[in-house]
């Protein structure tokens, strides 16, 4: 995801124990939570990639909108995420 510039950064949080209801039963599993920093423009392609790679029938993919943050950090995320439909040359024409 980072190599393909769908995300600027991916944090892998230590394996955790998840308890959840699935198909009428309470299940438990060891899972690793990923915090993926991307842009709203890259999110659809990122979501598609996660679903294609994830071993679960129903993968957990949720977006938490960033409403504010350190401007330089947000600029860094934007600079390292390229919308798949855009070529690198087309990025200079973007206004966001």
Rounded to whole angstroms, the maximal C-alpha distance in the chain is 51
Q: What is the CATH number assigned to the segment(s) 9-93?
A: 3.30.70.120
CB 6 within 8 A of CB 84: yes
What's the pLDDT score for residue 88?
A: 52
Low-confidence ranges of the chain (pLDDT < 50): 87, 89-96
What's the pLDDT score for residue 86?
A: 65
What's the pLDDT score for residue 94?
A: 36
Kindly state the helix (H) or strand (E) to which residue 25 belongs, with its residue range.
Answer: strand 25-31
φ/ψ of residue 27, rounded to 5: -115, 160
What's the pLDDT score for residue 47?
A: 96
Domains of the chain: which residue ranges?
A: 9-93
Locate tokens 């690793």: which residue?
Answer: 32
């Amino acid at each position: 995801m980072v190599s393909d510039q769908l995300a600027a950064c991916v944090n892998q949080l230590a394996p955790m124990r998840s308890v959840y209801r699935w198909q009428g039963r309470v299940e438990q599993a060891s899972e690793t939570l990923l915090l993926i920093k991307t842009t709203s423009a890259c999110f659809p392609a990122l979501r598609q990639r996660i679903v294609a790679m994830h071993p679960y029938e129903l993968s957990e993919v949720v977006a938490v909108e960033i409403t504010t943050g350190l401007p330089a950090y947000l600029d860094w995320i934007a600079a390292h995420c390229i919308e798949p439909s855009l070529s690198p040359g087309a990025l200079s024409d973007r206004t966001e």
